[in-house]
Structure 1
């Protein structure tokens, strides 16, 4: 009997020891790559070649307040000569041919506002390497602008479809439903103020798309792929234990531009002032943990 009790006691001690030695604490999650958006009205205003530019003579402009934005493509490029599509593609949005030609499927788009997260993916899905540049194909912007209507200064909501082509069924603009049910070319826009809506189309090729790598890595006309350079590069080793956060800061410095009929710096569509540009005016990416 004593032998049986001794064996039972030793068995209990052995089990207890194994339980104490086993590490049941939660394991850390795998690190992620997090992409965030930022919109800066004080950031330098650039032209298509990535050079500083002023508002064109005969036009006026204002810096909108961006509520949300969508991108359809994000790529990290190792060097200035990396051709579009040959870098590390970390995001591609949904596309469709429902409207005829291939187009961005607006109904399935991802959105983010100022200082909000647009994309989170495991870092294990990103190839190890050093990246100097980021390319972002913009698809949609929504924000508020000021207009002059019947002598009154009012604020309205502007939806700008800046992607190469967008398939849209309908969308909600500040409580008003805009029905489209088809493809729309780059530069299609809709505006809502005081419950009234209107639509329009910016001229073909008028949307500014800053690309400082125009000479070494050109982009197709109308693609809306904005390019920006990391100040100190982005390095992915594959051994990260913490998240990497890439903040994409877009310039909205006088990014909404129109032709002036009355030279007063106020957008007055009722007298024939026409939207000519809604493109973002530059991209500065930064890296943090």
Structure 2
């Protein structure tokens, strides 16, 4: 096999556990705050400033199928002036120094699929108040894409680690195990098709991270913290008797974008076409009481 000309894929810029409950444990009637994931192909496509974005000149794009993703950090912010870290942090994933510098521990990451519950915590653990915004630091994505090779349209799996820093012992990509045993900065990616896997590192700043509050509440470079506004806010009184669900809807609208060599709208790495962006294109949260 000619390896499907996978050497050309080396120019790609980057790219994407739940524990079972113990039935022997007593259940609680306490209401919970539930966080659920959604990947929306029709949701508005935004740029880093949270403004509607067209596909770049000379580029083409496709909407991937997102198999699952992980978040490392979720924060509720009362208003547009609440700086990152000064809101109500309802989730932070585990970190480690096993690779040297502080990093996300990927072996402990929660992987969520479309429509699944990512997080459930007692409402009693969340401070009462009114919250207008939510911030989510996305750390990992795994998705299926289409590409053209020697005139044949094929599918492959793209995995991207887009957290600020990631300690990866190993990871699975479509049944193939990739051993890393090291820290990897934002933009480390791997691509698999027909049993072959290649990996690489994106340049700094390559991932789009929409933040409509860039002027009043900026985020650090490389953090991949998406910011979204509740349409009617989120209110927690402390007197709830029922669950509250936050639905996090992420835009995957043409989120896989590349520079075209052959202007046919098909991703063709063997022709020298290179991936320019794979960042999620916006966050719209909603609340169900």
* Same-fold status (TM-score > 0.5): yes
Partner in structure 1 of residue 86 of structure 2 = 86
What TM-score, normalized by structure 2, do the two folds share? 0.89
Q: 2:200 — aligned with what? A: 200
Residue number in structure 2 paired with 1:190: 190
Q: Give the structure 1 partner of residue 59 of structure 2.
A: 59
2:106 is the alignment partner of 1:103: no
Instruction: Give the Cα separation in 1 of the matches to 2:201 and 2:232.
Output: 39
Question: Counterpart of 2:160?
Answer: 160
Alpha-carbon contact 1:128-1:237 (below 8 Å) kept = yes
Root mean square deviation, CA, Å? 1.3
Q: TM-score scaled by structure 1?
A: 0.89
The number of residue pairs the alignment matches comes to 264
> 229-238 vs 200-209, which deviates more?
200-209
Match of 1:253 in 2: 253
Aligned to 2:285: 285
Cα distance per residue 1:79-131 (max 9 Å; x no partner): 00000000000000011111111111111101110000000000000000000
Contact 1:257 1:276 in 2 (8 A): yes
Superimposed CA distance per residue, residues 215-241 of structure 1 (whole angstroms, 9 cap, x where no aligned partner): 000000111000000000000000000
The structure with higher relative contact order (CA 8 Å, sep 6+) is: 2
| Aligned residue in 2 for 1:238 | 238
For 2:93 and 2:276, how far apart are their aligned partners in 1?
26
Contact between 1:202 and 1:277, CA under 8 Å: does it hold in 2?
A: no
Q: Deviations over 1:54-76 (max 9, x none)?
A: 11112211111111100000000
Q: Is the 8 A contact 1:229 1:285 kept in 2?
A: yes
Give the unaligned 5+ runs of structure 1. Answer: 1-25
Distance in 2 between residues matched to 1:124 and 1:257, nearest whole Å: 42
Find the aligned partners of 2:28 and 2:162 in 1 and give their Cα distance: 40
Q: Is the 8 A contact 1:75 1:87 kept in 2?
A: yes
Correspondence for 1:42 = 42
Asked if the contact 1:138/1:162 (under 8 Å) is kept, the reply is: yes
In the alignment, the residues of structure 1 paired with residue 103 and residue 192 of structure 2 have an alpha-carbon distance, to the nearest angstrom, of: 25
Other structure's SS at 1:60 match: strand
**3-state SS of paired residue (1:124):** helix
Q: Which runs of 4+ in 1 moved over 3 A?
A: none
Alpha-carbon shift at residue 201 of structure 1 (Å): 2.1
* CA-to-aligned-CA distance 1:161-211 (integer Å, 9 cap, x gap): 111111111111111111111111111111111111111222210100000
Which of the two has higher C-alpha Rg? 1
